[in-house]
Amino acid sequence: MQAVRHVVCALSGGVDSAVAALLLRRRGYQVTGVFMKNWDSLDEHGVCTADKDCEDAYRVCQILDIPFHQVSYIKEYWNDVFSDFLNEYEKGRTPNPDIVCNKHIKFSCFFHYAVDNLGADAIATGHYARTSLEDEEVFQQKHIKRPEGLFRNRFEVRNAVKLLQAADSFKDQTFFLSQVSQDALRRTIFPLGGLTKQFVKKIAAENRLHHVLQKKESMGMCFVGKRNFEHFLLQYLQPRPGHFISIEDNKVLGTHKGWFLYTLGQRANIGGLREPWYVVEKDGVKGNVFVAPRKDHPALYRDLLRTSRVHWITEEPPAALVRDKMMECHFRFRHQMALVPCVLTLNQDGTVWVTAVQAVRALATGQLHIPKGFRDLPVPGVAPVTVPLGRVCCVLQRGRVPGQREDRAAGAVRLHTPEEPAQRWGGHREPQ
């Protein structure tokens, strides 16, 4: 008789992870719930409401009659996520801490805790995503002995797990999972991958999970809360005053407290000016922020970027890209923006040029840039963006291109090959 499979489910205290645990129970698995405390709310006057979330997660386990555990990754989160977040902002980039948290905390620290300490056959989360493995295939991974050392990568390429979009295109969260390792993907179940958010809420309502159903969905960074973002950053980073300068005539329009506080495309609040101005360029050496007078100013648009060496999720580039050195696909660099057609060009050093068919607004270093094949689904890789370029005369003639320097940005490019049927692409913030 086959032993009951043990699945350890991450519980955030929100409706998505609660329903994920419920569905796992319905499948007949032995389920354990684990709440991760990643930020010390006491240090920030309770802004993160971690204690309340933990109570809600514990109540979910009581309702489902499953064991509950709480683990603290406050130190790991500070070292691997928050410190990286501050370092990237200080360099003028636009990081995404949710992606870094998934890589280092949820799918590394929690993954190893579940497998090594709790004896899990698999882990599960409330993300709206799917992989190319069915549940039973996930469980079989525990019994597959993979070679170590020199031959490890070749073996995993032949047996690579694909990261696939969720059925709910608006809630799809593969954006946030783009740096999860093959080891973690092999042992992960996403129970909500084939469901819509509306149906998940219906399941919660029918199964006495009203306390999480009524919670407002979190849409920001937990460590910032409702505070002013600029004020928050200046608690950790030293002010570096500089000027706002017009991109059109080099006229000084005002002053700011730090060029790292601004992202390309963001509206700059310049004292004494009624008209809105938007950030188009940053000078990290002099500390100046260049602004344009219109939201659709030509200086805001770019049609070319270069990545650093790509991290392939399946651990090898798409076959078409290797064969032809070029591949047509679509990309986005914000999780809810419309897809833009582009052409990828593979370089010998493993970097990739991404040429957009049409110029895109506010393409910045440090943001997550997401190409994907027009017939979609698989998510083969990610890579930091180093240089966003463009054919914008008023910028290139001035000889300054945002991000044109040797150091690497912290964003990512996710690549999708045209191997599967088409689905629309959407996204949302991390599940609660």
CATH code of the domain occupying 241-293 = 2.30.30.280
pLDDT of residue 62: 97
pTM: 0.81
Domain boundaries, the chain: 6-142+158-214, 241-293, 300-395
Indicate the average pLDDT of the chain: 79
Three-class secondary structure of residue 205 per DSSP: helix
Higher-scoring residue by pLDDT: 343, 24: 24
Task: For residues 413 and 353, give the distance between their C-alpha atoms in angstroms, rounded to a whole number.
Answer: 10
> What is the per-residue pLDDT for 290?
95
Distance in angstroms (rounded) separating the CA atoms of residues 377 and 165? 6
Beta strands 242-246; 288-292: pairing state: parallel
Q: Which of the residues are catalytic?
A: 101, 222
CATH of 300-395, one of 3.60.15.10, 2.30.130.30, 2.40.30.10, 2.60.40.1930: 2.40.30.10
Over range 156-179, report the average pLDDT. 82
Query: 314 pLDDT band (50/70/90 cuts)?
Result: confident
- Is residue 396's pLDDT more than 50? no
Q: Who has greater pLDDT, 8 or 169?
A: 8
Express each pLDDT in 412-424 by its tens digit: 343 333 333 223 2
- Residue 11: which pLDDT band, with cuts at 50, 70 and 90? very high
pLDDT at 43 > cutoff 50: no
Contact 234, 251 (CB under 8 A): no
Residue 226 has pLDDT above 90, yes or no: no
Does 279 score more than 60 pLDDT? yes
With cut-offs at 50, 70 and 90, classify the pLDDT of residue 383: low
Q: Which residues contact 228 (CB under 8 A, 6 or more apart)?
A: none
Mean pLDDT, rounded, for 172-195: 92
Return the residue matching tokens 């109540």. 59
CA distance linking residue 288 with residue 244, whole number of Å: 6
**Cβ neighbours of residue 225 under 8 Å, at least 6 residues apart?**
44, 47, 48
Q: Evaluate whether the domain defined by 6-142+158-214 bears CATH number 3.40.50.620.
A: yes
In whole angstroms, how far apart are CA 353 and each of 175, 219, 275, 326? 20, 32, 36, 9
DSSP string, 287-350: TEEEEESSTT-GGGEEEEEEESS-EETTSS--HHHHHHSEEEEEEESSTTSPPEEEEEEE-TTS
Total residue length of the chain: 432
| Half-sphere exposure in the Cβ direction for 337 (13 Å, CA) | 17
The more confident residue out of 334 and 171 is 171
Q: What is the pLDDT of residues 99-158, one digit of tens each?
A: 889 999 999 999 999 999 999 999 999 999 999 999 999 999 876 655 555 444 544 445
How much is the average pLDDT of 312-339? 80
More confident residue, 285 or 416: 285
Which band of pLDDT confidence, cut at 50, 70 and 90, is reported for residue 77?
Answer: very high
In the predicted structure, residue 402 carries a pLDDT above the cut 70: no
The answer to whether residue 266 scores a pLDDT higher than 80 is yes
